[in-house]
Amino acid sequence: MENPWKFIKLSDYESHMALGTVMQLQVLNRIMKKQLDTYPVQSAMVLGVAGGNGLEHLKIENYTKVYGIDINADYLQEVEKRYQNLFPVLECICLDVALEGAKLPTAELLIANLFIEYIGYACFQKTVTHIKPTYISCTIQMNADGTFVSDSPYLQVFDDLDSIHQTIETEVLIQSMQEIGYQQIALMEYVLPNGKKLVKVDFVNRFFIRSAEKTNT
């Protein structure tokens, strides 16, 4: 079975996410701005970039390369149309991270918003070890009502995602990152209109911390 994200139209996805009862598009936009502005890096990678929500906040003078990764080629074509001003700093790569994560380039900052739910902890660990970021900033969703897709007129569009969706817990994610050498450095929660929460968790490579400590002693 092919990944269902290949068949979901970007217009349906973004319309659903922007609904007043959902508000995830708007909140994730603010989160992306914070992610791009916080850390002293020159390269970044966005896993599951979709239509590029939040990339308008990218200050290209601060970056030499930003990779937008997605499994859906149509999404990436739209990113290229929307953000022509960001090229050649912005580079889009179409691949299935679950199957081809080893092909990804390295980047100092790894951003994964509402993405880990579709590849799971172990696959995300492997992906991180290939990308070798200094910083990781990821956003996961907490579901108050037990359903991961919010009620909307677009609900049926997402039916097939049940086959790949996994519930991600904050504490388990933190533990899984500790196992591969990453320490939690920030956590912020955003409550949505329908009672769901987005949780942004940031990590730093412990080797980077030790290196910085040696430099300062």
Instruction: Give 139-188 pLDDT, tens digit per residue.
Output: 999 987 666 677 788 889 999 999 999 999 999 999 999 999 999 999 99
Give the C-alpha separation, 213 to 217, whole Å. 6
Give the C-alpha separation, 142 to 169, whole Å. 8
Cβ atoms of 201 and 170 closer than 8 Å: yes
Starting at the edge strand found earlier in the chain, the sheet holding 90-94 runs: 90-94, 65-70, 43-47, 109-113, 135-142, 197-205, 182-191
* pTM score of the predicted model: 0.94
Q: What is the DSSP letter of 54?
A: T
Give me the CATH number covering residue 99.
3.40.50.150
> What is the per-residue pLDDT across 7-38, written as a single tens digit (0 to 9) for each?
999 999 999 999 999 999 999 999 999 999 99
- Name the pLDDT band for 213 (thresholds 50, 70, 90): low
- Name the pLDDT band for 52 (thresholds 50, 70, 90): very high
* Domain count of the fold of the chain: 1
- Name the pLDDT band for 215 (thresholds 50, 70, 90): very low
Of 80 and 208, the one with more pLDDT: 80
Give the C-alpha separation, 113 to 122, whole Å. 17
Q: Which domain holds residue 189?
A: 4-53+60-215
pLDDT attached to residue 145:
66
| Average pLDDT score over residue span 47-69 | 98
